[in-house]
Amino acid sequence: MFGGEDDDEDVQFEDVIIPVPTVQTVYRDSDDEDDDEEDEENEEDIQFEDVDFGALQSVSESHGEPKKLTLNLSAHTDVTALTRKVTVRRKPITKEEKERRVSIHRTHLLCLILHSALRNRWCDDEDVHKSLRPLLTNKVINQLTPGAHLPQFGQTESLKTGLQQAGAIFRAKFQITERGLRRALWAEDPKHLIDYELPSNADSCMDRSDFRKAAKKMQGSRDVGAQLYSVAVRHRRSGVAKTKTARCDLIQHDHDRTSERGGAQKDSRIAISLDPLVTGSIWKPKSFEPPATDKENAMSYVIAFETDGTAKDVTRRYAKAYAAKTRRLRIETATERGDDWWRQALKLFGRRWPTDLDEIEDVELAAIEERESMPRNVADFKDHPVFALKRHLRRSEVLVSEAQPAGSVAAGSKAPLEMVYRRKDVRVARSRDKWHRLGREVKPLEVPVKFLPRRPNARPGDFVDDGYGGDERDAAGTPMFTDDQTEPYRAPPVIDGRVPKNKFGNIEVFVASMVPEGGVHIGDEFDTAARASHMLGIDYAPALTGFQFKGKHGTAVLNGVVVAREFEDAVRAVMDGLGDMEAQAEQSKRALRAIKTWKRFLMGLRIRERIWAGVDSAERAEEGKQLVEEAEGKGSTEDDGVAAGGGFMVDSGNEDGDEPVRDDAQALLEEAASDITEEYEMEDDGGGGGFLLD
């Protein structure tokens, strides 16, 4: 069926020689956005130590008789050294390290959300309800469930009084004996984690049974206490009637003060924030945020869970400065598309169809964010979504000419006032080259909005774009233009099947709109499209779709070709044919490998058959049975003198202590891997190959 082995292996294809395109490279400018962000982060990491100026105060002058003074210059040097502000620069993290930390933060955040969802299910446990039911008296329950005959003010006051009494009862009964969740900090050195151990008083409530025990004993961590109080308030009518809707707002942000607030909603319209263990506050959501000086506690995410398991982000309700401070600690600002990731994460816990109450709550949270006042601290204006200072603008950002100040702020009592502008008046400016990579070009005779300084490592005499369509040697800097100074880029059209090319023999297709009129871009990660175009003898140009940077050096990335539109069907047909030929060649290689494997297997069977030629069927069956038992682990482990190869008796060695005689069956099997023909015949050397002969 098949020819010779060598003929089957060598599948001949005709090689098509394609002109090798010139490798195009670029150099990344220092004004890239990534570099700017890293520079700003490095500046932000500068920390100043507090200096004790009391050590510098001189002793009050004495009006007595003069005394002998001793000058110690070394001590004077030590004291004056304290007067200088010591700048401690932390080692800046790399891009890879930042991505790794963001990935860990996301994983940690998802684990906390699942932890909260699990605790929310435990809050509906019937055994926990039975344990907490005797906690509240009938009087408190009646106050928590005011009758409809009372006016609105009376119902509110009754509910408020009932919550105060319930909090006082729970605070008196519950004992804090363990340590709850705390903020997870980054270790500056991996050696710091070698000897790390969990504290002895860590939270021991790990499963539902532990939660039930905590409800019976009324002791545990602050987290468990807040959850149990949420159960008591959520099911406050368990002895009378079931509530229509109950809600539990959980804070999961690695803290130890309070991990949730039980919130009761009247007709699911008002969220009441309760904290009986730490602050003892009612209806004061802003009091839950810990102080900024608390390193082990930070409120970054506040997730509210309903009794049906749905969840919503309500951080804006509890954060005092969400836009100025809290937002900078969240995943939305850590990456470019962090807000999309956060929405997708919470989508798993949201309702498929939002209700009217959900929309009302969304409007309420948006209004809270809009009512947030202007920051008072200069540092809070950095990356603020509403306000901006000129000092915090990136190198590629400018203010529009008609921007009007929205206020003023000073860095200190003696510092000059700085104008505060709206973030909507900030525009992103880019160079001509960057606009070209976005598929736009600067309009003629446009004046640059700003000039970026030259790169520090730029060589003297280099040409720099002067901003007016030409190059100027030793220019002052790179001109920058805003979006309204550009227009869509129009490449030269394809005429008579000829595709326009640059000096490198390529065509730049950074975006789809850069494909020339009359042409079509055929994407292909390999060179199949180029091979097909070359075989057809039509004009084509490799498509340059971007640059792959390594440091500041970028190498061109080619993806497919650009050909005339009338040749598109022909090129794609040839590409399909080449793909079928490659698939057929791969199938032939797999078939050849299968044939070789079967050939080796059959050759081994033929060799085994020749070895067993002088053995009767009964002995074969006995040997086969023994081999099966040994394979299954049932055979004898002792050495019974039977060799593994063929079942023949092999001498363990001669009387002189020589090495045992080698089993020729094993040797033949090893030689079967070599290139032997099907007409292989064993030679009778008279010795029987080391086997006992009759």
- pLDDT tens digits for range 514-549: 999 999 999 988 889 999 999 999 999 999 998 887
Region 76-81 average pLDDT: 53
User: What pLDDT, on the 0 to 100 scale, is given for residue 136?
Assistant: 85
Nearest to 254 by CA among 207, 186, 174, 346: 186
Question: 261: which 2 tokens?
Answer: 């607030």
What is the rounded distance in angstroms from the CA atom of residue 34 to the CA atom of residue 675?
A: 60
590-639 pLDDT, tens digit each: 999 999 999 999 999 999 888 888 788 888 788 888 888 888 875 444 44
Mean pLDDT of 180-191: 81
The whole-number pLDDT of residue 462 equals: 52
> Using CA atoms, how far apart are residues 219 and 236, in angstroms rounded to an integer?
20
- pLDDT classification of 152: cutoffs 50, 70, 90: confident
Given a cut of 60, is residue 659 above it in pLDDT? no
Report the pLDDT value the prediction gives residue 73, as an integer from 0 to 100.
57
Read off the pLDDT band of 17 (50, 70, 90): low
Query: How far is it, in rounded angstroms, from Cα 549 to Cα 509?
Result: 18
> Which tokens sit at 65?
């008789």
Q: Roughly how many angstroms between the first and final C-alpha of the chain, as a whole number?
A: 42
Instruction: Let me know: does 390 contact 419? Beta carbons within 8 Å.
Output: yes
Range 427-435 average pLDDT: 92
- What integer pLDDT is reported at residue 691 of this predicted model? 43
d(CA 17, CA 29): 37
Name the pairing type of β-strands 540-550 and 507-508.
Answer: parallel
Q: Which of 213-222, 464-473, 649-658 has the lowest mean pLDDT?
A: 649-658
- Assign domain 95-185+203-372 to its CATH architecture: Alpha-Beta Complex (3.90)
175-176/219-220 β-pairing:
parallel
Residues 6+ apart with CB under 8 A from 12: none
pLDDT of residue 238: 41
pLDDT category of residue 23 using cuts at 50, 70 and 90: low
- Residue 487 pLDDT greater than 90, yes or no: yes
Take residue 46 and report the two structure tokens written for it.
């500068």
Euclidean distance between CA atoms 446 and 467, whole angstroms: 8
**Has residue 89 got a pLDDT over 90?**
no
For residue 218, give both structure tokens: 């009324």
Structure tokens at 501: 């090319």
Asked if residues 381 and 375 have their Cβ atoms less than 8 Å apart, the reply is: yes
Looking at residue 316, its pLDDT comes to 92
Q: Is 296 left (phi over 0), alpha (psi -120 to 50) or beta?
A: alpha
Options 1.10.10.10, 3.30.200.20, 3.30.70.2460, 3.40.50.300; CATH for 1-29+499-614 is 3.30.70.2460
Residue 510 predicted with pLDDT over 50:
yes
Question: Does 468 or 142 have the greater pLDDT score?
Answer: 142
Residue 308 binned pLDDT confidence (cut-offs 50, 70, 90): confident
CA–CA gap between residue 458 and residue 448 (Å, rounded):
21
Task: Name the pLDDT band for 53 (thresholds 50, 70, 90).
Answer: very low
pLDDT at 362 over 70: yes
Domain limits of the chain? Answer: 1-29+499-614, 95-185+203-372, 387-428, 435-488, 617-694
* pLDDT computed for residue 65 by the predictor: 55
Q: Are 31 and 452 in contact (CB under 8 A)?
A: yes
Cα(259)–Cα(225) distance, integer angstroms: 9
Determine the Cα–Cα distance for residues 384 and 328; give it in Å rounded to an integer.
Answer: 9
Q: Report the alpha-carbon distance of residue 362 to residue 314 in Å, rounded.
A: 9
pLDDT category, 476, cuts 50, 70, 90? low
Give the residue from 310, 154, 166, 311 showing the smallest Cα distance to 237: 166
pLDDT of amino acid 61: 43
- For residue 591, give Cα distances in angstroms to 2, 10, 587, 588, 649: 11, 13, 6, 5, 40
Does pTM top 0.75 for this prediction? no
**Nearest CA among 537, 538, 515, 533 for reference residue 573:** 533
CA dist 399 and 406 (Å) reads 13
Which structure tokens are listed for 304? 């509210």
Provide the token pair at 221.
Answer: 């961590």
Residue 437 predicted with pLDDT over 50: yes
Listed in sequence order, the DSSP H helices in 476-616 are: 528-536, 568-611
pLDDT of residue 263: 39
pLDDT of residue 97: 87
281 — pLDDT class (breaks 50, 70, 90): confident
| CB neighbour list of residue 214: distance below 8 Å, 6 or more residues apart | 205, 220, 224, 228
What is the distance of C-alpha 152 from the center of its chain? 49
Give percent above pLDDT 70 in the chain: 70
pLDDT at 623: 81
- Write the pLDDT tens digit of every residue in 545-576: 988 877 777 788 899 999 999 999 999 999 99
Q: How far apart are CA 115 and CA 221, in angstroms?
A: 15
pLDDT for position 683:
42
Given a contact cutoff of 8 angstroms between Cβ atoms, the answer to whether 312 and 361 are in contact is yes
Residue 575: what pLDDT? 93
The highest-confidence range among 41-50, 400-409, 578-587, 645-654, by mean pLDDT, is: 578-587
Contact by Cβ (8 Å): 296, 256: yes
**pLDDT at position 477, please?**
81
How far apart (Å, rounded) are the C-alpha atoms in residues 346 and 348? 5
* pLDDT of 18: 62
Q: What integer pLDDT is reported at residue 151 of this predicted model? A: 86
